[in-house]
Amino acid sequence: MAETRSKASKGPFEVTRNIPLLPFAAERYEEAIRQLRAMNSVLDARINRRGRLHIRYDASCAGIPDIERILDKAGIGRPDSYWWRLKSAWYRFLDGNARTNAQSRGGACCNRPPSPWTGDRGADQDH
């Protein structure tokens, strides 16, 4: 592969994933890597010696479905094993969580969180 330089870190939602790929022609891999690196949220993407896509991205902006869409468009498949399906589902959950947390305004659900020192402290002692 040509360029191996990666972009700078995007912040707290940066994740690294290793995605197993089925064997294909090098041209397909190169095209997919070009498209992945063109995404603003992808910090680094490369195929390692074991035929896995090593990708680092900002999960608040992109997720496994976006990456898989590009791989599918390039005609690159992933294994259909139980382990990969489970791991892919876990990655989808984590990426969805990161995106939700990034869009959250934070804070408690109300302006005053509950306190153990509020209410009638002496109510039980009267009876």
- Is 95 within 8 Å of 63 (Cβ atoms)? yes
Please give the tally of structural domains in the chain. Answer: 1
* Residue 92 CA neighbour count, 13 Å, CB half: 9
Number of residues that make up the chain: 127
Mean of the pLDDT values across residues 4-16?
73
The CA distance from 66 to 114, in Å, is 40
* 2 phi/psi in degrees, rounded to 5: -75, -95
Does residue 108 belong to any structural domain of this protein?
A: no
Considering the domain boundaries, does residue 1 fall inside one?
Answer: no
Mean pLDDT (the chain, rounded) = 83
- Does residue 45 sit in helix, strand or coil? strand
Backbone CA torsion sign across 32, 38, 41, 46: positive
- The answer to the question of residue 3 being in a domain is no
Task: Give residue 98's domain range.
Answer: 14-103
Q: Is residue 109 one of the residues assigned to a domain?
A: no
Q: What is the CATH number of the domain that holds 19?
A: 3.30.70.100
Q: What is the pLDDT of residue 34?
A: 94
Mean pLDDT computed over 106-125: 61
On whether residue 95 sits in a domain, the answer given is yes
Residue 105 has pLDDT above 80, yes or no: no
CA distance 10 to 40: 10
Q: Is residue 6 part of a domain?
A: no
Helices (H), the chain: 26-38, 64-73, 82-103
Q: Is residue 32 part of a domain?
A: yes
